[in-house]
Structure 1
Amino acid sequence: MNNGDSTITIPEATHTWNNTMPLIVSFPGDLDECLQQCKAMGIDRVFLLANLIVNGDAPTMDDFRKDALVLKERMAFFREAGIDVAYWGGSIGHGMHEAHDFGFQEIVGNSLNSAPGQFCPLDPQFQAYLCDVYSLMAGTGVDLLILDDDFRQHSHSDPMSCFCPLHLKEFAQRTNREWTADELMEAVLIGKPTQWRKPWLEMMGDSLYELAGMLEQAVHAVNPQARLGLCSSMTHWSGEGVRMPELLKRLAGPTRPFLRVNGAPYWSKEPHHAGWIVEYACLQKQWMSGIDVEIIAEGDTFPHNRFYTSAAMLHAFHQGLRAQSFPGVLNYVLSYTLMPQHEQGYVKKLAEQREHYEAISRFIPANYRTVGVRPYYVPYNFEHIVLPDKISSKDLYWREEPYALQYLARLGIPMTYSDDEGPVLISGYNGIGLSNSELEKLLDKGAIIDGVAADWLVERGIDIGVVQIAKVGAPAFEKFVDPEICPGNCGESVWLPVAPREHVFYDCKLHENAKMVSEFYRLSNEYAYPGVIHYESSSERRVCILPFDLGGVREMKQIMYNYVRQEQLARSIAWVGRQPLPATIHHHPDTYLICRLSPKGDRLVIVLQNLSLDPVVNPIFQLDPATAINGSMELLLDGATAPVPVGAYKYTNDSHHGYLELELELKPMGFMALALQLDSRTN
């Protein structure tokens, strides 16, 4: 046992943080009380949100004129207090009203039903209406306006749109043939990509590009300095047919673009969801790398009371964002329609933890890079993916959901999205749009591959150690057979209840050099087919195959969430990458791990968020065995405003890993950040 007494010099933080909050323009509460809450949380910008419903219907221009007068008044109020103001408005619509007599073409989804109160961006009358709205609001002198995440064509009443007469006519003109809605859906929403999917996506993207350009012109005609930005939706990164940098450029014109990414605390139906939602925000930020854009995260607690989203969840979201040096967040902490004192839990938590959040940013400078396994997700991939053979709203909703983030964030395995760091995890159809030479280069990093990706890689003739592959029914047990990969459970089996009805497992006929590290068995205890596979090619490329669809098994009990898989996956990543990850943690559920490394490689920060409802007692971190533990360690604990030296700890090293055990207890939803000073042997 050691008692650490050395301290680490922490470099000056370079992290900037934009702390913002939405508020209804015609907010009914006491503005002075609201202002005090803003100051307590350190809010630097208020987003005044337009009324999206007036008397059960979409707002008229007269309604917006009233809002514009209130916006001017409240803009002056908050600016006098040193708080910036932005205007936040709707666009295509959320369908929360009846929209009786507007006369606009409504979105038509894949059910061929109209989406009430959600309007087609190709409708000239709707285009003129929306431009008038944003021209009016820009004329108030506000310096930032943002479109809500309804500026999209998909995921309104149906997952996929728009098949209205205007879009059918436009597509007919582009393709020199007539289309019915059924014909077009069959051509673009079923099976493998056809010759029509790409031009359909281009038409869809142009629909938004055109309207974005009109809005930019309308805003800058009356307020040249104003910025026009966007709240993203999942579909912006997938099937809308747009490229986000171009869409933001069309909106912003000559000004600096603005983006609120999506992924919010209210998505967290269970505490463990907080980790992957932070990661999803970071993934979107990475997709925008190299572009000068102001980015904030979506701190939405919808419907803004703690019956649905706890203050602890919002707090964990903040801690994760800070640990990732994310540049800011939009905090949805007050009710849209009730007095500010109605729900005080969020404000109280963020105000209490304000100095703690700043301490996290100081402890983990923004120029530290994130290290770990790289989940390979690419935006705008809808053009390439294979869709089901029948159109189903259930199957079409968010086809490219990043399930790997959810698994890794619960299994204590750190992630990165940098192009040149660590091995990769390839799942689903991510990467299918790459050339074979690009795929070979990606796989040479060392790769974890799921069954879907293995299937199309084999079809493409890429050597991953599989000669033939075919879908099969689910097994009942998985037996772990490799003593190096699962040393504590070799020879044991995990039961796999609640099998999916669809065939989402894959039977692989293996290359002679491929090795099974686990095997699948039937309920009769009869061998079924290979489980997890390791393969090293003649060119010394290493891959590990998880022979199932990572998305398709998400409801299957224990296939991913068990302690043996937790260890097996971490050791498999180490095997394909030829060295262990900087840190992992085993035998604790729902442990979200982040690893950040200094530019010189001389300081490693390991962040652990316990997103379980059980405490983590005496956590043991598995480290790269080259990491020297010399007593120079510091801890930033949950709620703390300054780090302290590590107290009692134990360290052992078996040449495969170093094992660092800290003698502490991390409470449910707790946070800790551990800094290790590294010497030259680690670099």
Structure 2
Amino acid sequence: MKEEELDIIVPVALETDWGSRETIVESILEQNKLFGFTKFALAMPGKGWRSVSYPPEEYFLEKAMLFLAVKKALPEHIRCGWWHTLVLKSGPTPGFARVVRQDGTEAPFSSCPLDPGYRKRFSDDVASVIRIARPDFLLLEDDFGMNCHGGPGCFCPRHLEEFARREGRFYSREELRDLFENSPLESRELLRRFQTLQKDSLVLFAQAIRSAADREDPEISIGYDQPGCSMKDGGSVEAVARALAGKNHRPWARFCGTLYGMEQISRTPAILFSCLYFKQHIPADFGFYHESDSYPHTRFMVSASAMRVFMSAAYSFGYEGSVFQTQQILDDPNEEKAYGAMFAEERKRFNTLHKAVRNCRVRGVHVPFVPFDAVNFPKQGPAWAGVLSAMGIPYTTDEADISFVSGDQLLFADDRTIRSCLSKGLFLDGPAARVLCNRGYGEYLGVDVQFPLIEGMEKYDLEAREVICPEFLKGNKGRNMHRGDVFSPLGNGDVFKLIPSAPGCETVTEIVTFRREPMAPGMTRFRNRLGGRVVVCASEVNGNASSSLFNYRRQKLFQELILWCSDSVVFVKNEPRVFCIVNEAPEDEDFRYVLTLIDLCPDPLAKLELHLPPDGRKDIGWKIMDREGVWQEAPVKKTEDGILLEHPLPYAVPVYLMAEKKQ
């Protein structure tokens, strides 16, 4: 594979639906002929074993011979690795300890990685298959986790004994359950240490696998599929991948980032947020593969267009490849051809994108994310990510001139982190502002925050409004927005009462009743003595899908207030639901940006207007990628604050722009 090409791994079932050597080879050759794929992961054991037991040794020997027969029947340019699809989840087997849940029950089909007998047996079977089948690589299934068995980790005797050794005292399962369920804030650090134990038990298991593989083939590369629970397993993904890689290989993993069984393309920016976080927070010596999985892999559930959007975004984030499910998991697996055909059509463009952005940094406004808190405590997640993307505002998980904070994200933050946020551009939703007020930082916000704003009969006022103050209209013909409690089938979030508390605090919007009686500010802005510029919104972002938040006027307000904080952000003007990803090039490159623009609204756009920071408007020439992956002159006109792209944006078809430096 050339360095500038994406690395695509296509899974193929070796056992499911009783395939033979001939049918398996036929399906691989068809994938190669029709779509050009050359790297496959032959998957076994099948997940039917969850209902029976861990497979016997004879099974692995038999399947290893089938693997070898398939591999020998294929041309040399086709590579075959082994996708081991049964790591911890198999049926109950005498002699192997089960994962014990928090309630004391045993998981019906999960073995404990701290059981030395299971660890040895599993590793020996891996070694046997490697010795016989000689796979080109090994990929391990995403059941390689401790929180994917029906409880927050394993509470078996071995785990409890090891935890007691680390803590210097014994905690019973019942005691831990009581602390974690009834005193979550007080036991936060205890939970962190308990989850670290879960991670360490997975690392021990991974080390045993690497050691066994090295006995047979020290050159084999081993990676794994990140479990959805990895952030609850002490943030295990990097540590497990490094243990599997060993000292002589580059660690790699397939990262979660898809949506099973449903078509919701507009959720892409929120779903892929964690993909960007890991890419920006794990060192660069790591291999990042996207979970390009449309389960159950037919267009009855998920379109190829949706997969194009997910893959385009992942590659824009700098991912170097995918574990790409192109086949339905049934006999005649190539019956669904849309996914492979989509990739064949997009291959040149994807590869050109990959080559362009591999040394870039994804830029935008900063949305903070602390994985441990996000998965263990309510309202700690990156709620702003989906909101911002719907408004054409790009996000990053790296530090930036402006941060958007929601909910309880600063509840556990230290003073240094909070003051850093308060010293630059900062947007807060109502609950985030209240957290800071309760922690003694209200003077830097310019407002006090109380709850609730809307009480009693007032909650039945269906014509209440949030009105933009005249000095902030900025070209808006309309002034009114729905109040935060407007009817919303998918939820509103709460509305908080903002009370200006400092001279210089400006009211941006005013919440009024249907009689135009003022209630409280809806948005404020304030320059504090730390030099920060703080915007506070009365409404909550978590769980808010209302027209009060998502509307053209709010979009313009947010964008104008971003400029007030710092004119350092590229964004899409006037249009809803255009996902904008900004890649900023290193100084030594001959271009400044690569922009990925994806229309996530089914209505196509004929043109698009972009705001650019001042340094992005000077000495720049614009290129657009054509269908062959070649950069061509872009149909662009300069505007007062950016550019007008006179090129259509079809639904779910990415457009890539490059801002070249003029010599």
TM-score normalised over the length of structure 2: 0.86
Q: How does 1:305-324 map to 2 (within 5 A)?
A: 305-324=298-317
> Where does residue 654 of structure 2 map in the other structure?
671
Asked if 1:540 corresponds to 2:520, the answer is no
Contact 1:107-1:163 at 8 Å conserved across structures: yes
Matched residues in 2 for 1:170 and 1:315: separation?
A: 46
Counterpart of 1:196 in 2: which secondary structure? helix
Q: CA deviation at 1:609?
A: 0.6
Alpha-carbon separation, structure 2, partners of 1:215 and 1:645: 52
Tell whether the 8 Å contact from 2:488 to 2:547 is kept in structure 1 after alignment: no
Identify the match of residue 642 of structure 1 among 621, 630, 635: 630
The code of the aligned residue for 2:258 comes to: A
Deviation of the 1:338 alpha carbon: 2.1
State the AA in 2 paired with 1:567. Answer: K
Cα-to-partner distance string for 1:619-638 (whole Å, 9 max, x where unaligned) = 2222335543779333225x
Partner of 1:211 in structure 2? 205
Shift in Å, 1:310: 0.6
Change (3 A) 1:538 1:139: same
Which residue of structure 2 lines up, in the alignment, with residue 82 of structure 1? 77
* Cα distance in 2, alignment partners of residues 38 and 273 from structure 1: 32
Residues 1:426 and 2:405 are matched in the alignment: yes
- AA at the equivalent of 2:288: I
* Residue 276 of structure 1: how far off its partner (Å): 3.7
Q: How far has the Cα of 1:320 moved from its partner?
A: 2.5
Aligned to 1:69: 65
Query: Unaligned stretches of 5+ in structure 2?
Result: none
What percentage of aligned pairs have identical amino acids?
21
2:639 alignment partner, SS class: strand
Report the CA distance shift for 1:296/1:369 in structure 2 as closer, same or farther (over 3 A): same
Question: What's the offset of the Cα at 1:315?
Answer: 1.7
Counterpart CA distance in 2 for 1:104 and 1:530 is: 62
Amino acid at match of 1:531: G
CA distance in 2, matches of 1:59, 1:378: 36
Relative to the length of structure 1, the TM-score reads 0.83
Select which of 375, 381, 394 maps to 2:367.
375
SS at match of 1:60: coil
Contact 2:279 2:317 in 1 (8 A): no
Structure 2 letter corresponding to 1:68: A
Give the drift of 1:536.
1.1
Q: Is the 8 A contact 1:115 1:157 kept in 2?
A: yes
Do the aligned partners of 1:239 and 1:382 also contact (CA within 8 Å) in 2? Answer: no
SS in structure 2 opposite 1:329? strand
User: Given residue 20 of structure 1, which amino acid in structure 2 is its aligned partner?
Assistant: I
Q: 1:566 aligns with which of 543, 555, 558?
A: 555
Task: Spell out, residue by residue over 1:182-217, the C-alpha distance to the aligned partner (whole angstroms, 9 max, x if none).
Answer: 431231244414253233223322322322222222
The question of whether the paired residues in 2 share the 8 Å contact of 1:447 and 1:573 is answered with no
Q: Distance in 1 between matches of 2:381 and 2:261?
A: 13
Aligned position for 2:593: 604
Partner of 1:633: 622
TM-superposed CA distance for 1:66, in Å, is 1.8
Flag the 1:267–1:33 CA change in 2: closer, same or farther, 3 A.
closer
Q: Which residue of 1 aligns with 2:322?
A: 329
CA shift digits 1:324-370 (9 cap, x unpaired)? 442111110012332133111112221222223234345x3433332
- Decide which moves more: 129-138 or 476-485: 476-485
Please name the residue that 2:241 is paired with: 248
The answer to whether the Cα contact below 8 Å between 2:258 and 2:271 also exists between their aligned partners in 1 is yes
Q: Cα gap change, 1:110/1:634 in structure 2, threshold over 3 Å: closer, same or farther?
A: same
Looking at both structures, which has the greater relative contact order when contacts are Cα pairs under 8 Å and sequence separation is at least 6? 1
Distance 1:502 1:282 in 2: 27
Task: Look up the match of 1:469.
Answer: 449
Give the residue type in structure 1 aligned to 2:305.
A
CA distance change for structure 1 residues 329 and 671 in 2, over 3 Å: closer, same or farther? Answer: same
User: What RMSD over aligned residues (CA atoms) do the two structures have, in Å?
Assistant: 3.3
Q: 1:543 to 1:289 in 2, by over 3 A?
A: farther
Matched AA of 2:68: K
- 1:154-190 CA-to-partner distances (Å, cap 9, x unmatched) read 13335x3334455445444544555454431231244
In structure 2, how many angstroms separate the alpha carbons of the residues matched to 1:103 and 1:403? 45
In structure 1, C-alpha distance between the alignment counterparts of 2:261 and 2:367, rounded to whole Å: 21
Distance 2:493 2:620 in 1: 51
Q: How does 1:178-327 map to 2 (within 5 A)?
A: 179-189=171-181, 190-194=183-187, 196-236=190-230, 238-254=231-247, 255-266=249-260, 269-290=263-284, 292-327=285-320
Alpha-carbon contact 1:15-1:327 (below 8 Å) kept: no
Q: Distance in 2 between matches of 1:308 and 1:102?
A: 39
**Larger helix percent:** 2
Distance 2:204 2:501 in 1: 52
- Judged with a 3 Å threshold, the aligned counterparts in structure 2 of structure 1 residues 528 and 64 are, in CA distance, closer, same or farther, namely farther
Tell me how far 1:595 sits from its aligned partner: 1.9
> What CA distance in whole angstroms lies between the structure 2 residues aligned with 1:119 and 1:629?
61
Give 2:553's aligned amino acid: V
Q: Alpha carbons of 1:559 and 1:124: their partners in 2 closer, same or farther (altered >3 Å)?
A: farther
Structure 1: which 5+ runs fail to align? Answer: 1-12, 388-398
Whichever residue aligns with residue 632 of structure 1, its letter is G
Q: Is the 8 A contact 1:477 1:494 kept in 2?
A: yes
Cα drift, residue 319 of structure 1:
2.5
CA distance 1:524–1:271, shift in 2 (3 Å): farther
The Cα shift of 1:386 comes to 4.6
SS in 1 for 2:335: coil
Alpha-carbon distance, 1:268 to partner: 5.9
Q: SS of the residue aligned with 1:565? A: helix
Other structure's SS at 1:453 match:
helix
Closer, same or farther: CA 531–133 of 1 in aligned 2, 3 Å: farther
Q: Which residue of 2 aligns with 1:6?
A: none
Counterpart code for 1:479: V
* Aligned counterparts of 1:487 and 1:452: Cα–Cα separation in 2: 30
How far did residue 39 of structure 1 move?
Answer: 5.0
> What is the distance in 2 between the residues matched to 1:218 and 1:611?
47
2:419 maps to which residue? Answer: 440
Separation in structure 1 between the aligned mates of residue 531 and residue 279 of structure 2, nearest angstrom = 33
Q: Kindly indicate whether residue 389 of structure 2 is the aligned counterpart of residue 406 of structure 1.
A: no
What's 2:29 paired with?
35
Is the 1:376–1:424 contact (alpha carbons within 8 Å) kept by the matching residues of 2? yes
Instruction: Mark the CA change 1:523 to 1:91 in structure 2 (over 3 Å): closer, same or farther.
Output: farther
**Which letter maps to 1:579?**
D
Cα distance per residue 1:222-245 (max 9 Å; x no partner): 332223322113432x32124543
2:500 is matched with which residue: 505, 510, 520?
Answer: 510
Q: For 1:30-85, what per-residue CA distance to the aligned partner results, in whole angstroms no more than 9, with x for missing partners?
A: 5144224135434342112112334643441232222222222233445x431332
